[in-house]
């Protein structure tokens, strides 16, 4: 361990050197306490010893140090050189970013060594620029000999360089570095192209063997490579017909020997593993294991976005099948705003979920969600109408197929299943779940068909009722983000934190896409029938928008929970006509009439008067037309005959005897 060191421009003496000349620990601590700046560097790490400022220790101890280790002023440029060496962050970045010809980065030790080389050579340049060295061949040679000795005597822990010890080679390296900068320090054979070619081919072969459809083990790949290198098997690319040449993997006429650990390293290299798993596994597994994903946060307002997804209820029906369910979640509140159930997974399941959501929105006096997030399955059938952005929802987000983590509904389904269904229902979970608590118990029994699993089964109605009950508990439980919504349930967050930009719920448009429909006709210019019920036109103006000669229309509606229909939306083709309510009747007996009867009678009379007025107005506007034959202009005045007055014969009347029945009989026979 050297006694003297320069830290920056400060000459220091090491703590071990002071202890070596007789300094006690107590006196050392006394110096540190009484002289604040005496300690230049604290001890730390394996070889990083404490350093004291040489000129701040007592004079008598300076003499002891000089007697033991010599005068520090007699040192060569080795300590003085260190004062000119500065940290070079550009060198550190250059060597950390450098990729060798083999396609690999430099090791950390190599990076530190090359960085130290650059810093020491820059230090030599800095010292030569500041100090006025004598010129001349002999004197320059002596200088470089001194510099070479100084470089070799540098603290290797601080400067782990490997510059030449020969002063001529050091000077040549210095001149090359000054001309070419950092690349001059790289070894000329660092990852040459031939080595890279062999490594690339070997890596391609190993990975190709591991990517075969049979999904071989790593040990099988090692075995196949040995047989290939020994020419016991031939390996070729079935797509291109290219044969792999075993001789390419020989070194000095000897075949390469690859251990299983080497094979493992190639296969599990971070750049190779995703590629292999994309070939050996399905897209869903690859996506969840390796593919980068988007990092998001939920919207601040409810109704900003809803997410929809289907699932099978975990418990089975009596026939062994599962109930198909479709849910709509509000992303901000995580509240279930719509749900539908069916024994079949079809487009009606999706429209029924929307129908349920719209009823929910209507009951809670909420606006239309600004965005809906859906998958292509089932919903793709509506991409050109209902699910076209701007038709019903201002924004529509189509999730990528197979990317379950993209849909918010996937996470919310999981939260509902394991957070609520599992509390009240037996058999909730997956047989292959990692967590033991989420693996349902399996009871195995034997029958004539062999071993089977015993499962409890339920009716369709019970499964739906249980899920509806779970949704109610889920919506009325506390919101998971209590730091944002303290004391509020999911339903309260939905109702009280709605997006102010949410548009008004337009039932007439929605009914056309997700409501029930029937074809009907307008009768007596007043009403039409739906489900054996009469519905009145709101005004006679509706008649003016009908197509000529066509009274046939399409009626759309949303059925209430009890099956009743309170209002119907009338269309003719793509044209919306009106919203109609059920035709109200009134009691004909005045003594029994209620206020509702009198209101219904008044409304009907108003409609009839309005109709009569429209007919009268149009009738009055008609012209009283008389048609007169136009005379031919070619007739001359001479050709006009003089009018002759013809005497009119007075009519004669026959007097009938009303009591003469025989006369009437003969008269009737004569008139036949």
Q: HSE-up of 362 (CA within 13 Å, CB side)?
A: 16
Return the residue matching tokens 């509702």.
Answer: 596
DSSP secondary structure, 373-392, as one string: EE-STTGGGGTTTTTSTTTS
CA distance 206 to 263: 7
| Cβ neighbours for 383, distance < 8 A, ≥ 6 positions apart | 398
Structure tokens at 510: 């929605």
Comparing CA positions, the residue from 317, 315, 368, 377 lying closest to residue 338 is 368
Q: Which sequence spans correspond to the domains of the chain?
A: 4-75, 89-181, 193-289, 306-430+456-496, 515-636
CA distance 217 to 221: 7
CB 326 within 8 A of CB 350: yes
CA distance 338 to 360: 7
Return the residue matching tokens 């007697």.
Answer: 67
CA distance 103 to 186: 15
Q: Residue 621: helix, strand or coil by DSSP?
A: coil
Q: What is the pLDDT of residue 470?
A: 92
CA distance 481 to 476: 14
Class of domain 4-75: mainly alpha
Q: What is the DSSP letter of 622?
A: S
Comparing CA positions, the residue from 601, 606, 600, 549 lying closest to residue 572 is 549
Structure tokens at 173: 């390296």
Return the residue matching tokens 């006690």.
Answer: 24
CA distance 588 to 604: 13
Buried b (16+ CB within 10 A) or exposed e, 247-261: eebeeeeebeebeee
Q: What is the pLDDT of residue 654?
A: 55
CATH for 306-430+456-496 (3.10.450.50, 3.30.420.10, 3.40.50.720, 3.60.20.10): 3.30.420.10
**39-41 and 533-536: which strand pairing?**
unpaired
Q: How far, CA to CA in Å, does 468 sit from each of 34, 283, 474?
A: 79, 34, 10
Q: What is the pLDDT of residue 78?
A: 44
**322-330 and 395-398: which strand pairing?**
unpaired
Q: Which residues of the chain have pLDDT under 70?
A: 1, 6, 8-9, 45-47, 73-79, 99-104, 131-139, 188-198, 401-404, 426-454, 631-672
Return the residue matching tokens 């040990």.
Answer: 219
Q: What is the pLDDT of residue 376?
A: 80
Cβ neighbours around 384 below 10 Å, total: 9
Return the residue matching tokens 């749900």.
Answer: 339
Q: What is the pLDDT of residue 671?
A: 60
Give the pLDDT confidence of 429-463 residue by residue, as tens digits. Answer: 565 555 555 566 666 666 666 666 667 788 999 99
Q: Residue 613: in which H helix or E strand, if any?
A: helix 595-620
| Cβ neighbours for 188, distance < 8 A, ≥ 6 positions apart | none
CB-count exposure of residue 624 (10 Å: 0-12, 13-18, 19+): exposed
CB 193 within 8 A of CB 101: yes
CA distance 537 to 607: 9
Give the pLDDT confidence of 393-410 residue by residue, as tens digits. Answer: 888 888 876 666 778 888
């Amino acid at each position: 361990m050297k006694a003297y060191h320069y830290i920056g421009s400060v000459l220091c003496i090491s703590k071990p050197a002071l202890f070596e000349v007789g300094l006690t620990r107590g006196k050392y601590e006394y110096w540190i306490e009484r002289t604040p700046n005496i300690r230049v560097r604290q001890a730390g790490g394996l070889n990083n010893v404490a350093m004291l400022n040489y000129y701040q220790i007592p004079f008598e101890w300076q003499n002891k140090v000089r007697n033991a280790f010599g005068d520090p002023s007699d040192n060569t440029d080795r300590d003085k050189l260190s004062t000119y060496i500065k940290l070079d962050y550009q060198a550190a970045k250059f060597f950390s970013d450098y990729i060798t010809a083999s396609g690999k980065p430099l090791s950390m030790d190599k990076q530190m060594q090359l960085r130290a080389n650059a810093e020491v050579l820059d230090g030599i340049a800095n010292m030569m620029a500041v100090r006025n060295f004598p010129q001349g061949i002999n004197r320059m040679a002596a200088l470089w000999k001194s510099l070479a000795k100084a470089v070799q005597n540098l603290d290797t822990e601080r400067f782990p360089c490997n510059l030449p010890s020969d002063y001529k080679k050091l000077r040549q390296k210095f001149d090359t570095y000054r001309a070419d900068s950092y690349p001059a320090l790289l070894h000329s054979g660092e990852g040459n192209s031939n080595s890279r070619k062999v490594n690339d081919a070997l890596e391609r072969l190993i990975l190709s063997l591991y990517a075969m459809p049979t999904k071989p083990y790593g040990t099988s790949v090692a075995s196949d490579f040995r047989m290939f290198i020994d020419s016991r098997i031939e390996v070729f690319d079935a797509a291109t017909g290219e044969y792999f040449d075993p001789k390419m993997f020989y070194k000095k006429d000897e075949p390469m020997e690859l251990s299983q650990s080497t094979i493992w390293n190639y296969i599990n290299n971070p750049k190779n593993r995703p590629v292999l798993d994309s070939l050996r596994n399905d897209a869903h597994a690859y996506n969840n294991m390796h593919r980068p994903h988007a990092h998001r946060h939920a919207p601040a307002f409810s109704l900003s976005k809803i997410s929809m997804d289907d699932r099978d209820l975990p418990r089975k029906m009596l026939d062994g099948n599962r109930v198909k369910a479709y849910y709509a979640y509000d992303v901000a509140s995580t509240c279930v705003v719509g749900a539908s159930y069916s024994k079949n997974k079809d487009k009606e399941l999706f429209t029924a979920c929307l129908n349920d959501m719209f009823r929910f929105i209507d009951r809670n006096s909420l606006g239309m969600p600004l965005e809906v997030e859906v998958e292509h399955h089932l919903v793709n059938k509506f991409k050109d109408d209902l699910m076209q952005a701007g038709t019903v929802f201002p924004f529509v987000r189509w999730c990528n197929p197979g990317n379950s983590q993209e849909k918010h509904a996937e996470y919310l389904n999981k939260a509902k299943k394991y957070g609520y269904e599992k509390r009240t229902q037996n058999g909730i979970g997956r047989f292959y779940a990692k967590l033991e608590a989420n693996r349902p118990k399996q009871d195995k029994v034997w029958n004539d068909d062999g071993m089977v699993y015993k499962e409890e089964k339920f009716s369709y109605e019970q499964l739906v009722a249980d899920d509806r009950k779970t949704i109610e508990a889920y919506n009325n439980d506390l919101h998971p983000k209590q730091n944002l919504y303290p004391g509020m349930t999911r339903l309260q967050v939905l109702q009280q934190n709605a997006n102010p930009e949410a548009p008004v719920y337009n039932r007439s448009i929605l009914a056309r896409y997700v409501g029930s429909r029937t074809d009907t006709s307008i009768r007596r210019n007043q009403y039409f029938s739906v489900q054996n019920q009469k519905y009145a036109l709101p005004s006679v103006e509706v008649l003016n928008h009908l197509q000529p000669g066509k009274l046939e229309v399409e009626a759309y509606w949303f059925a209430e929970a009890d099956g009743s229909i309170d209002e119907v939306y009338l269309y003719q083709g793509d044209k919306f006509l009106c919203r109609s309510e059920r035709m109200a009747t009134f009691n004909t007996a005045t003594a029994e009439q209620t206020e509702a009867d009198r209101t219904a009678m008044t409304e009907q009379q108003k409609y009839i008067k309005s109709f009569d007025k429209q007919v009268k107005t149009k009738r009055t506007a008609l012209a009283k037309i008389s048609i007169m034959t136009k005379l031919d202009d070619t007739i001359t005045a001479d050709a006009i005959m003089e009018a002759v007055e013809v005497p009119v014969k007075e009519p004669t009347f026959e007097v009938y005897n009303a009591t003469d029945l025989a006369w009437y009989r003969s008269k009737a026979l004569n008139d036949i």
